[in-house]
Structure 1
Amino acid sequence: MRDEWAVTADGLVKRFGDRRVVDGVDIRVPTGSIYGVLGPNGAGKTTTLRMLLGIIEPDAGRRTLLGFDAPRDASDRVGYLPEERGLYPGMKAREAIAFLGALRGLDLKTGRARAVTLMEGAGLGHAVDEKIRKLSKGMAQLVQLLGSVVHQPDLLVLDEPFSGLDPVNQERLEKLILVERDRGATVLFSTHIMSHAERLCDRLAIIAGGKRRFEGTVDDARGMLPQRVRYTPQRPDPAIAGILPADAVSDGAGWRFELPGEGIERLLVRLIDAGHGIAGLSIERPGLHEAFVRIVGEQEAQA
């Protein structure tokens, strides 16, 4: 039976000089899930991931990785894509993937065969024998990612994997993450791009200023903000403002306001009875970006 948690962290602290880059972070990553660590640049995301992997040691706190108290004991079961990309430019793509697999204990023959399959699945089959220096930045980044999964790890850790990718390669990367999750791997990735986290994550943590500000599902985060209503009357009439909630703001043809606590039905009846009618009505849930701004504050979110 697999452990309930693939990764745990309790009170992780890391100081660089007088600065606490990570300040008491707690994390629980469920086995078999996609888990995102979100935060603005400089929030402490990369340092947290490196402590979880055992690349650097925390100054305080405890962490486990795939059940091991010493993360490096699980290194052959982990795939890691660091924030700093790097491949040997003279290597062919297939050889680069097989080489990265060999560093995790995979034999080169198996690695080369899997490299071809992985590149074809990622839409890069035409570049199997191309040297890294001839690939675009996005393609080279995907090759390095394939090298982190070629040994079929139980845990895949990706640090800002979408950074620098064009939309086509971002979509390829999202598909690859889902394939790895469906294979049974746990995926842990950091990002400051909300849209990817919103589409992919089963759970997420939001870190800002070295502290964990939130942990839960995307719906949990979005649920911290009220839903908003967009209402369009059959014809413009300033008198509508007297019926709508006090926070209603006109956007020209229609109005926007928070969903009343008692629901929308009574308000609609009053609008219809007053002869304003309904030309359009939608109830919109706040996005993850809006929730992120509420959680970390406007100033840190802008950063």
Structure 2
Amino acid sequence: MSETLSEPLERGNPRAVPDRRLAIEARGLVKRFDGAVAVDGVDISVPEGSIFGILGPNGAGKTTTLRMLLGIIDPDAGERHLLGNPKPYEVARAVGYLPEERGLYSSMKAYEAIAFMGALRGLPLGEGRKRGRLMLEEHGLGHAVEKQIRQLSKGMAQTVQLLGTLVHRPRLVVLDEPFSGLDAINQGKLERLIRRLADEGTTVIFSTHVIAHAERLCEQIAIIAGGKVPFAGGVDEARDRIPAQVRLETRRGDGSWRAALPPDTEHDVKNAETHLWSFDLPETGPEPLLRELIEGQAGILSLSIERAGLHDAFVEIAGEAAARALEADTQAELAA
């Protein structure tokens, strides 16, 4: 197994992450099914030890992209390196993969199912059984160690499969829609587990159609819609695509300080003595604005600066149709 990462696929690639080793690097991935393009020129760079999210609606190409990165299917065009190796199957034992389609042998006991999944990645069965029991205890499922999978609730069975994904202590964990079907409590547990894995140096990449998970967890994301990735980079970078909004409340409605406000400023009179102003934060930042307001005696009652959320950034980057599809997927899951 390769222990060092190869040179970047393209040194001039603006999406490459400088000064940090990459667990996954892909360029120009294309996949067609029956002549239809499912993934069209995807570029992704995932730094080691980071939490990376692939965000998009169902059918956008998330699962196909993950399967190409893992070597489960080959791209029709493009290149990918997994843990520095252009042949992903050669480093499969260093990877933990939780597919979107969950599946365990119903007659297996919980700890045996975990051990079996570890054995598929080269972990001796005896060690897998030992770790499986310990992991179930650690995650509050000590009472289920000897139970068969068919005797477990859906959430418990999903936890067992997740633990089986991690039992061999992989360097890279790939989770396809891991939050799907989990209640709020188990979603919170999974978020904490993902953070802990990253704190321990494990690279985690997951796909999701729920913006909140990506916003809370991810250092970097790729937004995918219609098989294309219009954005890949930091979450803050995505949010900064939309200017921060300034909300200003003043006693005065006129004066020399008005020149500091952009031309498209929205103005409203709250009452006889209070004026409300809304506008994009100028590129020069808040300091020059504050100075002119104070020196011009605007009579500041309140001033707040609100950054755009990832939802607004998604709409800006992927378009309203993709955002509506994302919302529909979320609502459908809640109703299920």
Within-5 A mapping of 1:89-168? 89-168=106-185
Contact conserved, 1:249 with 1:257, CA < 8 A, in 2?
Answer: no
Structure 1's 2 and 176: CA in aligned 2 closer, same or farther, altered over 3 A? farther
Show the counterpart of 1:290: 312
Which residue identity lines up with residue 124 of structure 1 in the other structure? Answer: L
TM superposition outliers: structure 1 runs of 4+ over 4 Å: 242-245, 249-256
Show the counterpart of 2:266: 248
The answer as to 2:290 corresponding to 1:265 is yes
Structure 1's 66 and 255: CA in aligned 2 closer, same or farther, altered over 3 A? same
Length-normalised TM-score, structure 2: 0.80
Name whichever of 78-87 and 223-232 sits farther off.
223-232
Length-normalised TM-score, structure 1: 0.88
Structure 1's 136 and 287: CA in aligned 2 closer, same or farther, altered over 3 A? same
Within-5 A mapping of 1:59-74? 59-74=76-91
Unaligned stretches of 5+ residues in structure 2: 6-20, 326-336
Structure 1's 209 and 249: CA in aligned 2 closer, same or farther, altered over 3 A? farther
Which residue identity lines up with residue 265 of structure 1 in the other structure? Answer: L
Q: 1:174 aligns with which of 159, 177, 191?
A: 191
Q: Distance in 2 between matches of 1:61 and 1:44?
A: 15
Contact conserved, 1:139 with 1:169, CA < 8 A, in 2?
Answer: no
Show the counterpart of 1:30: 47
Shift of 1:22: 0.4
Secondary structure of 2:213 counterpart? helix
Name whichever of 223-232 and 104-113 sits farther off.
223-232
Unaligned stretches of 5+ residues in structure 1: none
Structure 1's 16 and 90: CA in aligned 2 closer, same or farther, altered over 3 A? same
The answer as to 2:86 corresponding to 1:79 is no
Structure 1's 252 and 115: CA in aligned 2 closer, same or farther, altered over 3 A? farther
**Seq. identity, %:** 59
Shift of 1:52: 0.9
Q: Deviations over 1:204-253 (max 9, x none)?
A: 2111111111111111111111111234557xx9x68x967534276989
Which residue identity lines up with residue 147 of structure 1 in the other structure? Answer: G
Q: Distance in 1 between matches of 2:234 and 2:136?
A: 32
Shift of 1:66: 1.6
Shift of 1:154: 1.3
Structure 1's 296 and 129: CA in aligned 2 closer, same or farther, altered over 3 A? same
Contact conserved, 1:122 with 1:176, CA < 8 A, in 2?
Answer: no
Q: Deviations over 1:49-80 (max 9, x none)?
A: 01111111111111121222221111111110
Q: 1:13 aligns with which of 30, 35, 56?
A: 30
Secondary structure of 2:147 counterpart? coil
Q: Deviations over 1:28-52 (max 9, x none)?
A: 1112221111112211110010111
Which residue identity lines up with residue 121 of structure 2 in the other structure? Answer: R
Shift of 1:149: 0.5
Contact conserved, 2:250 with 2:298, CA < 8 A, in 1?
Answer: no
